[in-house]
């Protein structure tokens, strides 16, 4: 994706810098930055096509109007024109499809993950299970009902706050195994570049690798019932040392092993 940034600069276009409140959210993973770059590249291409096509069309309408004395020419076919207006869009589509396909394949490659978390969608909450660490919990919306009923003031993160966020370490490739317990949900955090459906009876996977500590928010992106809008996602990325401290505090103590006395009355060693 870095080559696209160079091409944009060589073409005289401004560097790709997200603007808060105007464009996509500020990306915090490499895959999210690639998505943003692809979005901007396609926007420049389609915007240029729009200006060119409509510019020519309006120029033709203005300069070939009947009131200016222009006489319309009658023709039925032009093989050269038909070939040109078929080949040019084909080449443009191929040029757009190449980076898009590469990015989709990169999104689907979760090989080399260092942390695996199972995510299960419920109506209307998320369950997180750290498969290798013995930590599991449910994450619910924590916005108070008084704010939802507009009795109290709404906070900055209205409907985007939870009681227990998903905590991950920075600089670590995290693999998500997504499924659902009832209906189809969709786990979506824009800043991480992740949007994957959670389907009952199926296990889908996705991955992300956060660059820096922070709190990143998302929502269920699938219409999953009456409380669909009350199913937020919060991911807290911590430095590796802070994450290990959080993990140690959350891990349950190992249950003591029970020993059964043999018929001879002796305890096995």
If DSSP codes are grouped into helix, strand and coil, which group holds residue 189?
strand
Q: What is the C-alpha separation between 98 and 257, in angstroms, rounded? A: 57
Q: What is the C-alpha separation between 260 and 262, in angstroms, rounded? A: 6
Assign 15 a pLDDT band (cuts: 50, 70, 90).
Answer: very low
Mind listing the pLDDT tens digit for each residue in 32-84?
A: 999 999 999 999 999 999 999 999 999 988 888 888 788 877 777 888 888 99
Q: What is the 3-state secondary structure (H, E, C) of 202-263?
A: CCEEEEECECCCEEEEEEECCCCCCCHHHCEEEEEEECHHHHHHHHHHHCCCCCCCCCCCCC
- State mean pLDDT over 19-31: 79
Assign 252 a pLDDT band (cuts: 50, 70, 90).
Answer: low
- State mean pLDDT over 151-174: 92
Mind listing the pLDDT tens digit for each residue in 91-144?
A: 999 989 999 999 999 998 888 999 999 999 999 999 999 999 989 999 999 988
pLDDT at 13 exceeding the cut of 50? no
The angle formed by the CA atoms of residues 150, 184 and 169, to the nearest 5 degrees, is: 80
Q: What is the C-alpha separation between 8 and 262, in angstroms, rounded? A: 77
The model's pTM: 0.76
Mind listing the pLDDT tens digit for each residue in 181-209?
A: 999 999 999 999 999 999 999 999 999 99
């Amino acid at each position: 994706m870095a080559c696209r940034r160079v091409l944009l600069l060589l073409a005289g276009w401004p560097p790709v810098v997200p603007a808060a409140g105007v464009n996509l959210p500020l990306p915090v993973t490499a895959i999210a930055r690639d998505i943003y770059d692809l979005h901007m590249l396609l926007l420049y291409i389609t915007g240029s096509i729009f200006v060119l096509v409509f510019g020519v069309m309006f120029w033709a309408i203005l300069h070939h109007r009947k009131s200016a004395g222009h006489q319309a020419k009658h023709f039925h076919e032009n093989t050269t024109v038909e070939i040109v207006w078929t080949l040019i869009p084909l080449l443009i589509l191929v040029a757009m499809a190449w980076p898009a396909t590469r990015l989709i394949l990169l999104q689907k490659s979760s090989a080399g993950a260092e942390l695996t978390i199972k995510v299960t969608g419920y109506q209307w909450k998320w369950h997180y299970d750290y498969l290798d660490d013995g930590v599991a919990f449910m994450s619910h919306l924590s916005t108070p009902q008084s704010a939802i009923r507009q009795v109290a003031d709404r906070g900055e993160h209205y409907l985007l706050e939870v009681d227990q966020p998903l905590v991950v370490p920075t600089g670590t490739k995290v693999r998500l195994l997504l499924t659902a317990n009832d209906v189809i949900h969709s786990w979506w955090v824009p800043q991480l570049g992740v949007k994957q459906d959670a389907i009952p009876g199926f296990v889908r996977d996705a991955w992300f690798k956060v660059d820096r500590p922070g709190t990143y928010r998302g929502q269920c992106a699938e219409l999953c019932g009456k409380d669909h809008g009350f199913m937020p996602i919060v991911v807290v990325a911590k430095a590796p040392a802070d994450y290990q401290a959080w993990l140690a505090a959350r891990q349950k103590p190992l249950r003591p092993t029970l020993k059964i006395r043999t018929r001879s009355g002796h305890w096995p060693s």
